Structure 1
Amino acid sequence: MARYFDVHPQNPQARLVTQVIQMLRDDALVAYPTDSSYALGCSLDSHTGADRIRAIRHLDDKHHFTLVCADFAQLGQFVQLDNSAFRAIKAATPGAYTFILPATKEVPRRFAHPKKKTVGVRIPDHPVALALVRELGGPLLSSTLAHPGAQSPLTDGWQIKDELDHVLDAIVDGGDCGTEPTTVVDWSSGAPEIIRRGLGDPSRFE
């Protein structure tokens, strides 16, 4: 049975954030809010989290996981950025964008794309998500919280608990955070290519 944390969406309680982080460090898989729907997340050190996310979402090994980072300095540890990508991505974050970039050696091989050696990164504009990754001291390995084949992600904390109580360790309820996914920009070839139009304004990368 998953623990349920009712967290203030703008001023997340430090006591509750600390409890969630303790669980994440103990290999927990959690559902948490972002600026573009709820996500599944675990720490990079988790031994089981990635496989559990794949099982819940019916994903194969070619799925791009996303590293949700606290700030641009942290993001830069995990992906390779040339000058143009650095400037453009820095100007667009925090925000509802996911960027696919070549992974550095800081990213465990099992989390990068098996052929392209790329990984998704983002800095969300959401107080709860940022509080979690800041307190954790590293990124959350994440994927959108949606049932296989669903038209939209889950966005209600109690619904998440009702439907996924048996496969999650914690639900961090930060209220409704919308259902529109991030805009995904693939920068792995040296120039931006929009591969999904979502909440983030895509025109700045066209």
Structure 2
Amino acid sequence: MSQLFVVHPSNPQPRLMKQAAQFLQAGAILAVPTDSSYALVARLDDRHAAEALRKLRGLDDRHHLTVLCRDMAAISQFARVDNAQFRLLKLATPGPWTFILEASREVPRRVSHPSRKTIGVRVPNHPVTLALLELAEGPLLSTTLIPEGEEYPLNDPVEIRERYEHRLAAVIDAGACALEPTTVIDLTGATPQIVRRGLGDPETLGLSHD
């Protein structure tokens, strides 16, 4: 059965977070809370992480996975960002946004989109996720925890543990979070394109809903 780490949502216990980070170091997949919904995460440098995450979600290799970063500096390491993109990212982060950008050479080929060589990046605004990123000493590969064949993400850690008890190493329980995934914006074209509307309101970034 999956390990359950029950932590305070705004001040997670360091001992428990260190134990959760050790699961990641060992190559495990965890379910963690974010500022949008619960997500599945693994170490970016784990050779089997991308395949395992896609298998859990029932996704093919053309679905963008997301690199969770601690800050803007980490984003610039894993994605190519020009000045206009940087300004938009700075306005939006941290927050419930995923931005699709051209992947840098630091991103393994197995992780980026196979034909476009792009990657999703984001900086979450959740103390638990940020604490885990700090302890992991590097970015995490992630995907929204939407069960295969379903439309909405899961946000109840107890239900997540029950449904994935033999497929996840651990679940970090910080209570329920939002039921909406992030808003996804593609920045690889001439103008930003809203790919998926989620928790983030595009108008707060000066972008139209249309």
CA distance in 2: counterparts of 1:115 and 1:154, whole angstroms: 30
Q: Which residue of 1 aligns with 2:111?
A: 111
Q: Which residue of 2 aligns with 1:90?
A: 90
Residue deviations 1:87-120, cap 9 Å, x none? 1111110010000000000101100000000000
Deviation of residue 154 (structure 1)? 1.0
Q: Which residue of 1 aligns with 2:52?
A: 52
Q: Which residue of 2 aligns with 1:194?
A: 194
SS in 1 for 2:77: coil
For 1:54-203, what aligned pairs fall within 5 Å after superposition?
54-203=54-203
SS in 2 for 1:5: strand
CA distance in 2: counterparts of 1:196 and 1:151, whole angstroms: 13
For 1:24-43, what aligned pairs fall within 5 Å after superposition?
24-43=24-43
Query: Unmatched 5+ residue regions in structure 1?
Result: none
State the identity %: 51
CA distance in 2: counterparts of 1:127 and 1:29, whole angstroms: 19
Q: Which structure 1 residue ranges, 4+ long, deviate > 3 Å from structure 2?
A: none
CA distance in 2: counterparts of 1:90 and 1:69, whole angstroms: 13
CA distance in 2: counterparts of 1:160 and 1:43, whole angstroms: 20
Structure 2 residue 5 is the aligned partner of structure 1 residue 5 = yes
CA distance in 2: counterparts of 1:48 and 1:108, whole angstroms: 11
Deviation of residue 190 (structure 1)? 4.1
One-letter amino acid matched to 1:191:
T
Residue deviations 1:44-87, cap 9 Å, x none? 12232222211111100101000011111111100001100001
CA distance in 2: counterparts of 1:55 and 1:196, whole angstroms: 22
SS in 2 for 1:34: coil
One-letter amino acid matched to 1:60:
D
Residue deviations 1:124-179, cap 9 Å, x none? 11110111111111111000111112121111111111110000001011111111
Task: Report the TM-score, using the length of structure 1 for normalisation.
Answer: 0.97
Moved more, 185-194 or 104-113: 185-194
One-letter amino acid matched to 1:127:
P
One-letter amino acid matched to 2:37:
S
SS in 2 for 1:180: coil
**Contact 1:187–1:193 (CA<8 Å) still a contact in 2?**
yes
CA distance in 2: counterparts of 1:192 and 1:90, whole angstroms: 15
Query: Unmatched 5+ residue regions in structure 2?
Result: none
CA distance in 1: counterparts of 2:17 and 2:151, whole angstroms: 30
CA distance in 2: counterparts of 1:190 and 1:86, whole angstroms: 15
Task: Report the TM-score, using the length of structure 2 for normalisation.
Answer: 0.95
| CA-atom RMSD in angstroms | 1.0
CA distance in 1: counterparts of 2:38 and 2:3, whole angstroms: 16
CA distance in 2: counterparts of 1:118 and 1:148, whole angstroms: 23
**Contact 1:99–1:184 (CA<8 Å) still a contact in 2?**
yes
